[in-house]
Amino acid sequence: MSVVCEGVNVGTNGSPFNKTNQRTVVDRSPWAFFVIGICLWLLSIQSTGQAAQRPGDHTIPQVATIDQEIWQGWQDYKLTPSAVAKDSEWCRRVYLDLIGRIPTIDELTIFEKDRPADRKLNLVNTLLHNDKYTEEYARNWTTIWTNVLIGRNGGNENRSLTNRQGMQKYLRDSFARNKSYDQMVVELISAEGVNTPGMKNFNGAVNFLANKLTENATLATAQTTEIFLGMQVQCTQCHNHPFNEWKQAKFWEMNAFFRQTVALRRFESGSRDIQFVELANQDFAGEGSQAQEAELYYELRNGLLKVAYPVFVDGTAIGPSGYLRDVNRRLELAQLVVSSPYMPQAIVNRMWAHFLGYGFTKPVNDMGPHNTASHPELLAYLGKEFRSNSFDLKQLIQWIVLSKPYSLSSQMKRNNFRDDPELGEQPKFSHFYLRQMRAEELYESLLVATQAHKIQRSYQEQEETKNRWLRQFIIAFGTDEGDETTTFNGTIPQALMLFNGDLMQRATSADEGGFLNTIATSKLTNAQKIQYLYRAGLARRPSGREIGAANQLLAARLGNTTAALQDVWWAILNSNEFILNH
């Protein structure tokens, strides 16, 4: 049986970006499919781990506190934590979470050759502080925060007021410099200037709010509060919140901070196409036309009108004047946000969720008395430590990834199966929660696994190519409601795209000069070639059963090493073990 796949082949220089009009024909005999199935099954049952130990005194006090607080939770709920993940599995996990891709074979080898007692700390410090990884660290966190601030498709819409490249440039520069989080928050909330790179008065930070000021800035109010304070207030725009203490007045008092702000559209000469957007502050006369006390009105459900002035969520009021000479409302809001206790806890919760799969609250952007945190003391402690350590995001990352819960295997034990947040339970972090790669992580990992990342191309070219692929991803995987998809969820369209899609076809191509062809024609023994593929894709060596299955493929292919390796590589890249962060 032959399977004919339409796709883009890898060119002679190994680039996955050299398009041809050829058709790739992959011979898949029933015997080959059977053996591939065995490979996939073996990949799905790999067990890892070493015995988990009671947390001891860690040289980093914040890590020791995390370990002790989480351990106490295990004791309280009579849970036995899973074993510690193998070091190679942990290494793969850290590369994915910190820089958004799996490690190369060389990087994995360097890690494994380091002293066992030091290798984890050394790797974390290398990824966070070595200039070699500055660009990749900045790229990964730029991608994450671009999606948080403007959405995966933000700036890609027709006539959008958001400039995606401008947002990315601001974030990339900020993360490359390790700008403190409080400074970033102030800049994003209070930004003024032009949103497009290359224009006079360019300020990429304005792209956060540029598209959120229509309809009296209701979206700006909701997303600023949600992202930076961890509070969901959008439903209180029209009525009091049914489940928490938020009242309708609170929404409009927060909304009042944005009423001095306008997004001015500048059009291309002789066209209705937007050339750039300028975010500017201007005097606000108030809805009663009294700028000295510039009020706004909102309507209760019974039809009565109420008045609102700028008041922060904790009740702190600023002057009611709408004149900029008296008060800059957005700047005041930014300073109130960073000085509040909510902001550091909100970012701690968000970062914890990034690394551990779940935050201390579910969802992470809905914190408060109505939604009790799973570990409230730890959340409060880390918030205070984050503030006292100058809002250093890299410091916070180090504490989390060196902690005991982050080091655990994803393999559950008999008595921690009930630690399953998907069943509605609060997370206890007694094992590492499996999660699927983000679309961006899959893209970057496929490039690294096939060594296509070595091709010299400019940063802008790389991002444009990836962005084109991601737009295809959104169209293919979007929900019925048009929500943006950020993970694989196992649907049939996703499986078909992954198994037979353009990117996978390029990754598994056996064309001359490509990754697979280079491995197949090298002087390595067949056993070494199989081992190389497993380490490239899964950061581990194959088991004896997997080597046996691969040898059966070689026999089925009648000595055609390239075709057999292509089958093995296809099985690796399409296995749960590759797609999952585990």
Digit-coded pLDDT (tens) for 10-64: 232 333 223 333 333 344 455 555 555 555 555 544 444 444 444 544 689 999 9
Sign of CA dihedral 507, 510, 512, 518: positive
Q: How far apart are CA 318 and CA 325, in angstroms?
A: 14
Residue 195 counted as domain residue: yes
Q: Which residue has the higher pLDDT, 269 or 526?
A: 526
pLDDT at position 219 over 50: yes
pLDDT at 494: 57
Q: What is the mean pLDDT of residues 131-160?
A: 92
To the nearest whole number, what is the mean pLDDT of the chain? 84
Q: CB of 380 within 8 A of CB of 344?
A: no
Token couple for 403: 């902690």
Q: How far apart are CA 564 and CA 570, in angstroms?
A: 10
pLDDT at position 528 over 70: yes
pLDDT at 4: 26
Largest CA-CA distance found in the chain, in angstroms, rounded = 87
Domain ends where: 306, 339, 372? 339
Residues 383 and 335 in one domain: no
Domain ends where: 304, 339, 374? 339
Confidence of residue 158 (pLDDT cuts 50, 70, 90): confident
Instruction: Describe the crossing of helices 214-229 and 181-190 by its angle, rounded to 10 degrees.
Output: 170
Residue 186 counted as domain residue: yes
| Residue showing tokens 């380091």 | 114
Query: Residue 539 carries which DSSP code?
Result: S
Residue 457 counted as domain residue: no
Residues 263 and 373 in one domain: no
Q: Which of 300, 299, 301, 319 is nearest to 309 (CA)?
A: 319
Residues 249 and 211 in one domain: yes
Number of domains in the chain: 2
Residues 183 and 325 in one domain: yes
| Residue showing tokens 């697979």 | 516
Count of Cβ atoms closer than 10 Å to residue 76 Cβ: 9
How many helices (DSSP H) and strands (DSSP E) are in the chain? 24, 9
Residue 235 counted as domain residue: yes
Range of 255's domain? Answer: 179-339
pLDDT at 571: 87
pLDDT at 57: 47
Residues 360 and 289 in one domain: no
Domain ends where: 339, 370, 398? 339
Residue 413 counted as domain residue: no
Residue 503 counted as domain residue: no
Residues 354 and 289 in one domain: no
Residues 223 and 330 in one domain: yes
pLDDT at position 466 over 50: yes
Residues 315 and 365 in one domain: no
Q: CB of 293 within 8 A of CB of 305?
A: no
Instruction: Describe the crossing of helices 181-190 and 329-339 by its angle, rounded to 10 degrees.
Output: 160
Residues 222 and 244 in one domain: yes
Residues 234 and 335 in one domain: yes
Q: How far apart are CA 303 and CA 290, in angstroms?
A: 23
Residues 323 and 187 in one domain: yes
Residues 187 and 238 in one domain: yes
pLDDT at 575: 86
Per-position DSSP letters for 354-406, written without gaps between them: HHHSS-SSSSTT--BTTB--SSHHHHHHHHHHHHHTTT-HHHHHHHHHTSHHH
